[in-house]
Amino acid sequence: MASEYVGTEERYAVFPFYLCLDVSQSMAGEPIAQVNAELPGIRAAVGQDPAVAEVVRFGIVTFSDVARTVLPLSDLALVEAMPTVEVEGRTSYAAAFDHLRRLIEVDYQAGRTGGERWYRPAVLFVSDGRPTDPEERWRASHRRLVDPSWRRHPNILAFGFGDAVSEVLAAVVENKPNRAFITTEGANPSRVVPELMAGLVQSIVSSSASAYTGSPQLVPPQLPNMAPIQVDELE
C-alpha cells in the first residue's frame, strides 16, 4: 500500500476566477452603476463565507482601449473593500486577452512560489458590445490566451448583453457548448446586469463546493439546458 503524508497545514488547491469586465462607453449610465452596486455582493457571498473563500481566488480586470487590473487575484476574505470601475473608451478585446494572458502567468507563478496549487483558472468575460479592434488582432490575442500548448490556458465563460454579438462571444469561448450566454429578445435591460452578477456569484459558490472533491467543475449559472464542464488540475 502506497503511503502519503498529510500535513494539517496543507491547503486545498484554489480555483482562480478572473472577472473580465467591459467598461467601454456603451456601459455608461445604469449598467456601470449596477456593476458597481453588485460587486460588493460578490465579496459578501464569497469572502464572508470561510468555506467558500478558502478555495476561491478572485480578480477583476476591466478593458476598454486598454485593460487594467482593478482587483489583483485575491483571497476575498482578506479584501477590505471592492473597487469601483469607471467607464472609459472603446472595446478592445485584444487588450483584454493580452492582459489576461500575462496576468494569469504572473499570478500562477506567484501562487506557486507561495505554495499554492491551482485548478485551471476561469475567466468570466462580460461585454455589452462588439470588439472595436480589427478582427485579426483580437483573434490573434485570443489564440494566445487559449493556446492549448500554454498549460495555464483558462476556461472562459462569456456573457453578452446590449450590442454584444453571439458569434463573437461563441468565438471567445472557442465554440464550446454551454459557455457563452447572451440576453434573450425582450429581456428587461435594467434586470440584466443584477441577474448576471447574481448568476456569477452562484457559479463561483457552486464551483467552489466542487473544488473540495478534488475533481472540480466550472459550474455555469443555472439556466435551462446547461451542464457543468469538467476542469482539470494544473501540474
Partner 1 sequence: MPGVLSSRVQLRALVLGDLVAEGGEGRVFEVRKAEAPGADGGGLVYKQFRRPRPAPELTPTVSFLGALDGADPALAARVRASSAWPVAWVVGQEPGLALGALVPRAPGCFWLRHREGGPRLATLSYLASDPDRITVAYGTVVPAPGAAARVAVVYALARLLEVWQGDGGRPGLAVHGDLSAKNVLWSLDPVPAVYVLDCDGATVVEAGAGPASVPRRPTTPNWDDPALAPGAAPTASSDRYALGLAFLRVVGAAHFPLQARQRSGDKVSIDLELPRSWRRLPDMPGLWELCERSLSVVDVPGRPSPAEWAAALEELLSSMGCADLAGRVRQAQGDPRASQALEGGPQRPVVAATVPDVAVRPVLKHRAASTWRLVSAPGWAQATGGAGTLVTSGAAAGATSAAQGPAGPGFSGLGLAYLGPRQLLRRCGQAWGGTHRLAFRLLASPGRRADGFRRLVRALLLDAVAACVVLFLIGEMVSPLIGI
Residue 133 binds to partner 1 (criterion: CB under 8 A): no
CB 16 within 8 A of CB 122: yes
Task: Tell me whether residue 184 or residue 213 sits nearer to partner 1 (CB atom).
Answer: 213
C-alpha cell at 180: 457563452
CB 42 within 8 A of CB 204: yes
- Rounded distance between C-alpha atoms, residue 14 and residue 118, angstroms: 5
Binding mask 83-122 for partner 1 (x = CB under 8 A): xxx---------x--xx--xx--xx-xxx-xx-x------
Min. distance of Cβ 44 from partner 1 in angstroms?
7
Min. distance of Cβ 18 from partner 1 in angstroms?
12
Judged by CB under 8 A, which of 28, 29, 30, 44 binds partner 1? 44
Min. distance of Cβ 212 from partner 1 in angstroms?
4
Residue 9 binds to partner 1 (criterion: CB under 8 A): yes
Min. distance of Cβ 111 from partner 1 in angstroms?
6
Site for partner 1 in 145-204 (CB under 8 A): none
C-alpha cell at 23: 467598461
Angle value at C-alpha 139, between 133 and 142, nearest 5 degrees: 110
- Rounded distance between C-alpha atoms, residue 37 and residue 24, angstroms: 18
Task: Tell me whether residue 28 or residue 51 sits nearer to partner 1 (CB atom).
Answer: 51
> Nearest 5°: phi and psi at 214?
90, -15
Residue 67 binds to partner 1 (criterion: CB under 8 A): yes
Contacts of 72 (CB under 8 A, 6+ apart): 59, 107
Residue 77 binds to partner 1 (criterion: CB under 8 A): yes
Residue 235 binds to partner 1 (criterion: CB under 8 A): no
Task: Tell me whether residue 57 or residue 179 sits nearer to partner 1 (CB atom).
Answer: 57
- Rounded distance between C-alpha atoms, residue 105 and residue 96, angstroms: 14
- Rounded distance between C-alpha atoms, residue 220 and residue 90, angstroms: 28
Looking at the DSSP bridge assignments, the partners of residue 230 are 217
CB 173 within 8 A of CB 156: yes
Binding site for partner 1 (CB under 8 A): 1-12, 44, 47-51, 53-54, 57, 66-75, 77-85, 95, 98-99, 102-103, 106-107, 109-111, 113-114, 116, 209-210, 212-214
